[in-house]
Structure 1
Amino acid sequence: MRRRIPGIGPLLATDGPGYALVIDEDQLDLGRFDAQVRKARTAHETQGPREAVELLHAALELWRGPVLSGLEGSVIDGAVMAVEDRRLTALEKYYDLRLDLGEAAELVSDLRGYVGLHPYQEGFWGQLMLALYRSGRRAEALAEYGRVREQLAEELGIDPGPQLIRVYEAILVETPEAAGPAFARPAVPVPPAPEPVAAPGVPRTLPCDVADFVGRDSELQLLLADARRRDRGTRVVAIDGMGGVGKTSLAVRAAYQLCADYPDGQLYIDLRGYSPQERPIGIDTALEVLLCALGVPRDRIPDDVAERTALWHATLAGKQVLLLLDNAVDQSVVSRLLPNSHGCLVLVTSRARLTDLDGAEWVHVDVMPPGESEALVAELLGAQRIDTEPEAAGELARLCGHLPLAIRIATARLSNRPRWSVRYLVERLSDEGRKLDELSSGERGVAGTLRLSYQVLSADCRATFRALSLHPGRDVDVHSTAALLGLSTREAETHLEKLLDAHLVQQPDVDLYAFHDLVRSYARSMCGQQPRESRGAAVERLLSYYLTATETACETIFPGRSSRITGLHASPALLPRLTGVDEAHAWFSRELITLLSTVELAADMGYDRHAVWLARNVAFYSNAQGNLHEFAALGRVAVAAARRLDDPKLLGMSLSNLSVACWKLGLQDEGIAAVEEALELAVAHADRHTQAHGEATLGLYASLQGRFEKALAHLRAAIALERDLGSPRAEAESLTVLSALYEKWGMFTEAAESAERAVSLVRRLGQHETALVALTDLALAHTGLGRYATAEQHLAEARDLCGDDREPGQVAVTLALSAELAYRRGETERASAFADRALALSGLSASPLRRARVESMLGAVWEHRQDYTTALQLHTRALETARSFGYRVEEAYALAGMARVAVLLGDAEVAAGHRSAADGLFAELKIPVARRPATEPVVVHALSTVSSFSPAPPACDALAGSGAVVGYDTVRDAARETGAVPR
């Protein structure tokens, strides 16, 4: 046992021929429970019931299920019964104290559970009856007594005990003891108004105000303001919102606060527009109920509806009455119930806005803001439970969709299951398949509430509601909905607007529609009951629509892109306007998350060909935006789908695209394996487009590894193929890679020629994201040739292209080069601005290769700024990044920079080490000495520099006399103070 059970050693003692567990009371759950109960008893006597309740709650929290579950025997059974009796005694005391504290409605569900589990425990029955009575449910409380009396007589042949009989009698005659002690609840944002005492004969049929009403301050104030305007006759204020959002609770709260303004009566009727298994109440029944409430004897109410209506109006004449019409669905019924006398108020609640209800002021109630929904969770569960799991409580509110009904059901489940933690329920709700089951309680539940809204829809709208759950987007527009349903955009919009009116969808923006999370779950459950064939047809229509739309958008944004035959039919659905570049960009940006989900949907549902081509189109946009991880993920989905199709051409294309994403992310092993397989497939199946792309990509990898001659061969082969195929876009991209290769090799003339050709091609194509790269490469080549003015011209043009839609790493390269060139031209202030922006953007790039390049370039810039500490940090970061991804040429550049900075910092030994390492790498890369970056700082001896200025600057005298080694900039700046210029 000591070997097998960690930590048992100190507890296991040898006792004669056997062993004993030596355990203190506080090491056992049961011991801690007994101690907490004793503390609660003492706290009740000395501090009060609130402290006792908290201690008892902590004691009961220790229970995780039946004691000694799964073990049998008479001794064990006796022990279990004794321990269970202690728990039940503590439970009864716990609920007694909570009732004493004024809690009632929130205890009903708990107590119902316990009378079901312990039907002979009369204490629980008594507490349930008191909780019901104190919640305003006197009839139900008395009915519970009838149930227990019948059950005891039938099963045991006995009557209820004296204590339960006393509770029954107290409720029957409504004694003060039954009502319980007064208890002031903690303040909530909008405190419940005191219920006015009705004058004798004044009718009041309002339901009870919700005791734990939380939030809704703005909606309540708007409702009250609308209700209190007296600028015309009867006022009508209507509240609309989705099922479960709390419309009735809000209306009842407002009605109680308005009671004093309507002294002749406050009437309520549930029109049952959304009631399970019940037809809506007709006008004849509604009039009868309301007339009876006003005291009209039933035998005086006429049978004819017109006569009843006349009697209703006559009875209200000259009175100030508040009328609450709950769950309205039929505008004609509401209109005929409106009083025609001045001074009345009608509050209406409805899930669908009754647009024909003339003259009504509408107050829309949406789901609760996160802060209010979390406050409701805290109110219902209690501060003690929330304080232990604050993050889980917030997550619970989110998973409930901030819907009050869902929150109340979820917290009731937790209250009924004291062993459950909030986190445990959160985990259960995170399972999409069981979420709606978790948020149900008997007939009361989110699914049941939504079902009522669904059932009143027309058949066409129900079909639209179900089909929308197949759409992978969080937001849907009219065009994609029309494609999904196989309808015209006008028909689709009509259906969406009807769902919006019924509050089964929301409208986050103009022309966009969205499901609430719980509504989506319900729609999916309904859609799952439809034939698989119809679901598949709808999904295929949607995939075809998005494939056609992305093809059109890519043709607009990426002119000159290689045209490929997809083998799929174009969608007949009407597309949004995508012919303008700005329009296509805006559409792609808005739909990007949906498009990523659509690719996954295609792959998951077996539409592999759609998955491959959709992934290609979306990858083009993701790559251009610098979303490189998305680019790689799309490539992997496409490769897997192409393998399932066993289509070598599609597989080669997908592998080739994936290899580019891997190159940008520095994933060499995966990328090289992908491009080699792609090239092999392309050659075997005569796919020259993929062959050219593969050659270019292999050139990228060879350049990255410093194998320049091999890279040159691949790139020349790629450019020849692309020129032969008439693919100017692909040729321009390969030429920029070739220019960068020549530049790293120190062959600036050849670099300039390649970049010039690339710039010429992209200008011929029009707008092209490669233009920024080509212009920057051309500026780099001219900088290497010492043609600073020409380089600045190209950089100025490149900077004009540096918009927010560009990949941050490429923009950072352009700005870093701009900074270096500005320093060389003596424009220090401008150079600093470029450098600071480049450094900020570099951190936003997903490409480690570009980060290493920018950090190395900026290290040289910070050398110019004479901030050698920062310069060393940048070169060091560039080295670490380059080494981690095998970027050998950038590794050599970083080492050269570190050697220069070490000299400037006076550390000759470190400088020599960096210089040696850099020279070794340059030699391996076969970069001639004349074409390598300097490993020594560009410095001059001050004494020899003075004579280079005319006239000789007096400000340099001190430097000349000191014999210090200083940067050229230092001497130049000192010379400028007296107007001297370099010769």
Structure 2
Amino acid sequence: MGESIGNHPRFNILGPLEGWDRETRLRLGGAIQERILGTLLLEPGKVLTVSRLVEAAWEEDPPATAMHQVRKAVADLRRRIPDGAAVIVTDGPGYRVAISDGQLDLTDFGSGVREAKAAAAEGRTAEAAELLRSALALWRGPVLAGAGGPVIEAAAAALEERRLTAAEQLCELRLALGESAELVVDLRGLVSQYPLRETLRCQLMLALYRSGRQAEALEEYGKVRELLVEELGIDPGPQLTKVYEGILRESPELAAPAVAAPAPAPAPPAPAQAEPPCTLPYDLSDFTGRDKELAQLLECRAETAGQRTRVVAIDGMGGSGKTALAVRAAHRLASDYPDGQLHIDLRGFTSGEQPVTAGTALDSLLRSLGIPGERIPDDAEARSALWRATLANKRLLLLLDNTVDAAEIRPLLPASPGCLVLITSRARLVDLDGAEWISIGLMPPEESGRLIAETLGEQRVKAEPEAAAELAQLCGHLPLALRIATARLRNRPRWTLQYLVTRLQDETRRLDELSAGERSVAATLRLSYQVMDEDCRTAFRVLALHPGAALDVYSAAALTGTCTRDAEDLLEFLLDMHLLQQPEIGLYGFHDLVRSFAHSLQTPDTDKSDATAYVRLLDYYLLATDAACTVLFPGRRQQETGMQPSPAELPPLKEVRLASRWFTREHTGLLASVAGADRMGHDRHAVHLTRNIIFALYEGGHFEEFRALGRIAVGAARRLGDPMLLGVALSNLGISCWKLGRFAEGIEVAQESLDLAVRLDLRATQAHSHGTLGLLKLMLGRMPESLMHMETAIALEQELGEAGQEAESQSVLSTLYMEWGRYPEAAAAARRALELNRQRGHRRHESAALVDLAFAHTGLGEDARALELLNEARDLCDPSARQEDLALILALSADVGYRLGREEQSRRDAAHALELARDSGVPVRQAKIENILGAYQRRGGAHETAMELHANAYRIASAIHFRTEEAHALHGMAEAARALGHEKTADRHHAAATELFEAMDLPLHRRSR
């Protein structure tokens, strides 16, 4: 039928695209217009985004103006089609076609197939055959023939499968009506087009046999068997084999049915219908991975004892491959359930559709078992009773796919102990009693790699192995994302894996990239999102604002503005929905793609509430870090923030162990929260949070992160125009510069901090800045200046009663005296630091003071006492001690121990010290330790090893202008070279060392460490 119906245009897509206005064929424009209209007609009534239409209109690499051209093409189509604005409707982010019955051959075909199915189910076989014949007559060729493009081609392939299924059903009905010879020609035509289609071949063999052509029927079996083995490496299926064996035996079951004249009575079932029903979906030929879960499923068999059906449910996030896994298992288990294998999609998460009710599902399942429609009761309870009675003493496998509600599937569960029910669901149906659950998460990296290789081909992956691994990571090891990505690569042979990886690296467009045809990661996740109530949707969106890799109930409560109990309920619900993951008990995290989806939900309408939620999180972190620092650093000076304290509940932080563990666990989130505060303009939060966090960063040896946060805090304090906060931020930044060997930068910021503190008469900041300047100038060998700063700092700290700060300054002063060779004064300063740290009960600082005192005793020639102090310092080091601290203890212990004759222990200490120092990433400490170990090796006569150690210390020290250790390294290199007989090299190093020592005004006897 070509003409339009009434006053409405008609469109035909089952063949070349046609548009008709009554008897006039419409001119629809060029290829772009035809592809856009054809794509819309393929999914009538459904909104297609502009980006989807762009993908349909251009096979690859669309122009920069593609979206504009799509809109222009739609406007052109509306002009060409009568009442075109009513036919192509703008709807939200895209367009849809609005058409009625009779306006599109595709919908007419679908209606005809459905009516035929209903007629056949009611026994009106002849009518059903006629309806199918009329529906198939609508096809004029391949769908949208000549239109081209991957989107249209993919849809055309799916529709062609529907046409072929309808053709098979028509042939089956004609066989049931007694036709045979007249069917042979039609079936031969279909078989020649689809030679591997076993159903068609089976029908052709039956038609030939019933026409008296037994030899030809058997010949067909030989042809298909050879073809299947050659093409697929498999033997014919059980249905085809059964018909073949029946022909050999001339089984009476294969005889043509006796058909009463015009009577509407149902025809006897054809041999194919005598087979147990199997409605399982297609089993993916390239199914890959899930080895562990598949093995678990294959162990599932019906109960051999007991009085119940075995129920096994698979849950996992959208796109994790639950259905593919269940279908693979069902096909593998099919032989164990000879009475049938049934599948039904309950559409719990299907776009635009309501979940299938229990009554509807039971009607479909009963009909699959051959129960006539007139025998099926109207109410769901009676249908459930009939279903269970029908399955009595049967062994049947039932796959309930895409479930959302336990109440709707309970009536579907058989009572027979010989049955197995497989269930898939995105949410764990916790109220489904008696079910065994298999949760599937993300694919392991090796299985992701296998899936990419299976779908793209080994050669393509071998050519770009690193890009393939990164592609798997960017897809989050989610099977749906991996399949979409590899499908895009298959459809774009010019693209390399690295090219797609580069596109996916842009987080703002990653979800758009992971979309192909009807498959989309975002659309899959949206279905899970839409089934939740509004409160859960809001919580989901707000929780995604958390900047860390994982969050706990306390930070979740702060974000959502609830108590921790309600927050935990929300987190657990989202965990059950597989929209959150649980890396460990008490922690929850977002999959990268789920987080990106949640961020995409933010709109101008939600910006204000989201900003309020983020401030609540910052307030909570400020309160929690302050509480943790109070426990971990009891001598820390308190500072007013000028902000209202958060009312949030805090985790247990009142013990050192708990506070330390909390800082470690929240490390990533705390760093990211400061960056977020800086990005969003919350400068006061950025400054005060940084001040709290850097205490923990310093203790943990995270100095690069310390410096990064310090720079953020300085910038925020400058914007606030708060000189007091700026002084503190600058002073702290200077400390990080010392640890990282950035002495010049450190002196610059510490001097600015000092100038600011003097101008504002901030005594505590003055003391801290003098201490930092003294330390940094010591590193550069500016000894007199360093001494002046340290003496000023100590005087101020004693005046202010800052015991903790004084202890640190006394340690620096001890090191300064030690370098100067003033050993009694070095020992006195170290003893004062030790006394102050013991009063404070700070084990790590007490250990450091003991090491300073040990250095002084080595200078005094009291090695035995020095070793006692070092052993005491070592005993104070717990497993959380910083590597560089323990390395220094071990290095000095090795050198002193060797002088005391403890050679074996010294060797062990030296090896361990070097390993720790090189792993620490702290250049100032590594240079010192390698010089100490170089001296130790020289004492033992290992001069080549000593030369290597001193040379490495020199490279490190000279790169950061650490003058004292640079001089010691040159002196050590001179001594090692002389012992090896390299006099010229020794003289050169000795001269350079002497020049540095004299420039620093160090006494000559200090040159021989």
TM-score range (shorter-chain normalised) is 0.7 to 0.9
- Indicate the residue corresponding to 2:987 in structure 1: 912
Question: How far did 1:539 drift?
Answer: 0.4
Match of 2:777 in 1: 702
How has the CA–CA distance of structure 1 residues 749 and 140 changed in structure 2, closer, same or farther, with 3 Å as cutoff? farther
For structure 1, the 5+ residue unaligned runs are: 1-62, 71-113, 144-161, 936-983
Alpha carbons 2:350, 2:527 under 8 Å: kept: yes
Q: What corresponds to 1:791 in structure 2?
A: 866
User: For residues 342 and 711 of structure 1, do their structure 2 counterparts lie closer, same or farther at Cα, with a shift above 3 Å needed?
Assistant: closer
Q: CA deviation at 1:651?
A: 1.2
Indicate if the aligned counterparts of 2:683 and 2:717 stay in contact, CA closer than 8 A.
Answer: yes
Residue in 2 that maps onto 1:278: 353
Distance 1:388 1:566 in 2: 57
Q: Decide whether the 8 Å contact of 2:225 with 2:235 is kept in 1.
A: no
Match among 335, 338, 345 for residue 263 of structure 1? 338
Consecutive unaligned residues in structure 2, runs of 5 or more: 1-58, 67-140, 170-187, 205-219, 241-271
Q: How does 1:962-977 map to 2 (within 5 A)?
A: none
User: Structure 1 pair 130/325, CA: closer, same or farther in 2 (3 Å)?
Assistant: closer
Match of 1:934 in 2: 1008
CA offsets 1:342-376 (integer angstroms, 9 cap, x no match):
31111111111111212111111212111111111
Counterpart for residue 829 of structure 1: 904
Q: Select which of 264, 283, 292 maps to 1:209.
A: 283
8 A contact 2:743–2:780 mirrored in 1 = no
- C-alpha deviation, 1:231, in angstroms: 3.1
The answer for the alignment partner of 2:315 in structure 1 is: 240
Residues 277 and 183 (structure 1), Cα distance of their counterparts in 2 relative to 1, 3 Å cut? farther
Q: Match for 1:119 among 143, 146, 167?
A: 146
Matched, 1:182 2:257: no
Decide which moves more: 602-611 or 916-925: 916-925
Structure 1 137/251 Cα, relative in aligned 2: closer, same or farther at 3 Å? farther
Give the share of equivalent positions with the same residue, in percent.
50
What CA distance in whole angstroms lies between the structure 1 residues aligned with 2:818 and 2:597? 60
- Per-residue deviation, 1:768: 4.5
Please say if residues 168 and 200 of structure 2, whose CA atoms lie closer than 8 Å, have aligned partners that are also in contact: no
Q: For residue 971 of structure 1, what is the aligned residue in structure 2?
A: none
Give the TM-score normalised by the residue count of structure 1: 0.77
- Picking from 778, 799, 803, the partner of 1:728 is 803
Which position in structure 2 is the counterpart of 1:218?
292
Q: Identify if the C-alpha distance between structure 1 residues 489 and 421 changes in structure 2 by more than 3 Å, giving closer, same or farther.
A: same
CA distance in 2, matches of 1:127, 1:716: 80
How far apart are the structure 2 equivalents of 1:807 and 1:346? Answer: 56
C-alpha spacing 1:846/1:196, structure 2 compared with 1 (3 Å): farther
Does residue 330 of the first structure (1) align with residue 405 of the second (2)? Answer: yes
The 5 A counterparts of 1:94-243 are 119=146, 138-139=164-165, 167=193, 181-182=227-228, 200-232=274-306, 233-243=308-318
CA distance 1:208–1:864, shift in 2 (3 Å): same
Does the 8 Å CA contact 2:814/2:825 hold for their aligned counterparts? yes
1:169 and 1:379 map into 2 onto residues whose CA distance is: 25
In the comparison of the two structures, how many residue pairs are matched? Answer: 806
How many angstroms does 1:879 deviate by?
2.1
CA contact (8 A) 2:228 2:236 kept: no
Cα deviation, 1:448-504, whole Å, max 9, x if unaligned, reads 111111112222221111111100011111111111111111100001111111111
Q: 1:860/1:549 Cα in 2 relative to 1: closer, same or farther (>3 Å)? A: same
Distance 2:502 2:971 in 1: 54
Secondary structure, counterpart of 2:299 in structure 1: helix
* Structure 1 contact 557–767 (Cα < 8 Å) conserved: no
Task: Give the 5 Å matches for 1:32-47.
Answer: none
Mapped pair 1:479 → 2:525: no
Matched, 1:412 2:506: no
Could you say if the C-alpha distance between residues 914 and 537 of structure 1 is closer, same or farther in structure 2, counting changes exceeding 3 Å?
Answer: same
- Over aligned residues, Cα RMSD in angstroms? 3.2
- Is residue 612 of structure 1 aligned with residue 687 of structure 2? yes
Task: For residue 772 of structure 1, report the CA deviation from its aligned partner.
Answer: 2.4
Comparing 866-875 with 165-174, which one deviates more in the overlay? 165-174
Q: Which residue of 1 aligns with 2:74?
A: none
- What SS does the aligned partner of 1:279 have? coil
Give the drift of 1:636.
0.9
Aligned amino acid, residue 212 of structure 1: D
Shift of 1:289: 0.8
Q: Helix, strand or coil for the counterpart of 2:666?
A: helix
The 3-state SS of whatever aligns with 2:441 is coil
One-letter amino acid of the structure 2 residue matched with residue 213 of structure 1: F
How far off its partner does 1:751 sit? 0.5
Q: Kindly provide the amino acid, as one letter, of the partner of residue 773 in structure 1.
A: A
Residue 895 of structure 2, aligned match among 820, 842, 851: 820
Matches within 5 A, 1:2-151: 119=146, 138-139=164-165
Task: State how far apart, in whole Å, the 2-side matches of 1:286 and 1:210 are.
Answer: 25
Measure the CA separation in 2 of the matches of 1:708 and 1:778: 20
Judging changes above 3 Å, is the alpha-carbon distance between structure 1 residues 673 and 180 closer, same or farther for their aligned structure 2 residues?
farther
**d(CA) in 2 for partners of 1:425, 1:772:** 54
For 2:802 and 2:673, locate their aligned partners in 1 and report how far apart those are by CA, in whole Å: 29
CA contact (8 A) 2:143 2:159 kept: no
Task: Spell out, residue by residue over 1:231-274, the C-alpha distance to the aligned partner (whole angstroms, 9 max, x if none).
Answer: 33311111111111111111111111122221111111111111
The TM-score with structure 2 as length reference comes to 0.76
Q: Partners in 2 of 1:215 and 1:165 — Cα distance?
A: 34
- The structure-2 alpha-carbon separation of the partners of 1:629 and 1:124, relative to structure 1 and needing over 3 Å to count, comes to closer
Please, which of 278, 281, 299 is the counterpart of residue 374 of structure 2?
Answer: 299
Query: How many Å apart are 1:927 and its aligned residue?
Result: 2.3
Q: Distance in 2 between matches of 1:585 and 1:687?
A: 31
Is the alpha carbon distance of 1:126 and 1:357 closer, same or farther for their aligned partners in structure 2, counting shifts above 3 Å? Answer: closer
Q: Tell me if 1:842 matches 2:917.
A: yes
Query: Residue 550 in 1 paired to residue 625 in 2?
Result: yes
> Could you tell me whether the CA contact under 8 Å between 1:193 and 1:257 is conserved in 2?
no
Distance 1:922 1:123 in 2: 76
* 490-499 vs 231-240, which moves further: 231-240
Q: State the Cα deviation string for residues 169-195 of structure 1 (Å, max 9, x = none).
A: 9989667899994267899xxx99977
The answer to whether the 8 Å contact 1:130/1:178 transfers is: no
Matches within 5 A, 1:657-668: 657-668=732-743
Residues 828 and 121 of structure 1: is their aligned pair in 2 closer, same or farther, counting only changes over 3 Å? closer
Q: Deviations over 1:5-35 (max 9, x none)?
A: xxxxxxxxxxxxxxxxxxxxxxxxxxxxxxx
Say if 1:626 and 1:806, in contact at 8 Å, map to a contact too: no
Q: After superposition, what is the alpha-carbon deviation per residue over 1:753-799, rounded to whole angstroms, capped at 9, x for unaligned?
A: 11100000010001253222211101101111112232222211111
